[in-house]
Amino acid sequence: MSRVIVFNQISLDGYFSGPNGDIDWAHKTGKDPEWEGFVAENAGGGGVLLFGRITYQLMESYWPTPQATQNDPQIAQSMNNLQKVVFSRTLDSVSWTNTRLVKGDPAAEVRKLKQEPGQDLVILGSGSIVAQLTQERVIDEYQFIVNPVVLGKGRTMFEGLTDRMDLMRTKMRPFKNGNVVLCYEPVK
């Protein structure tokens, strides 16, 4: 059975995007070889990527480009080769390699995907998808990269969540650039 894992960067005050949807703050940390190795290792870790429309369009506009291949060759190769599922009621088609469009209920589709043998399902960005799947209790692990920045306002991944959910920290890893990776699993 596959697991569903959220892997998102957040600000110290809990936002995964700034007030205008910006995420540039998540990429402004200083040079840190250990951090860069961690990012490259995670990008090559495999799995099926799950996106909402906005994150899909953001990722699709960068990773298949020559600029991405030049700036981050290992990550670009992985992002382009991995299987991707995009949840959208408004898109009519998707063009990024290895991408499938799902117009139906994200929670129902993810439950089906979890039953199939194979790799984990990884959500990047996609706050509305994270909130929906959290509400439906189908996420198995939350991996947050806490960035040493305070945004003051923005969007949280859990907007619209109506029920409390308790989590248990399973791992923690600090980096010299100030980022801290925190991993949590729902308390059953």
d(CA 158, CA 25): 20
Q: Are 182 and 153 in contact (CB under 8 A)?
A: no
List, for residues 6-63, the tens digit of each pLDDT value: 999 999 999 999 888 888 888 776 678 888 788 777 765 678 999 999 999 999 999 9
d(CA 123, CA 85): 10
Q: Give me the domains of the chain, ranges plus CATH numbers.
A: 4-186 (3.40.430.10)
Instruction: Enter the pTM of the model.
Output: 0.91
d(CA 4, CA 133): 9
List, for residues 63-77, the tens digit of each pLDDT value: 999 999 998 888 899
What are the backbone dihedrals phi and psi of residue 81, each rounded to the nearest 5 degrees, phi first?
A: -90, -25
d(CA 57, CA 44): 21
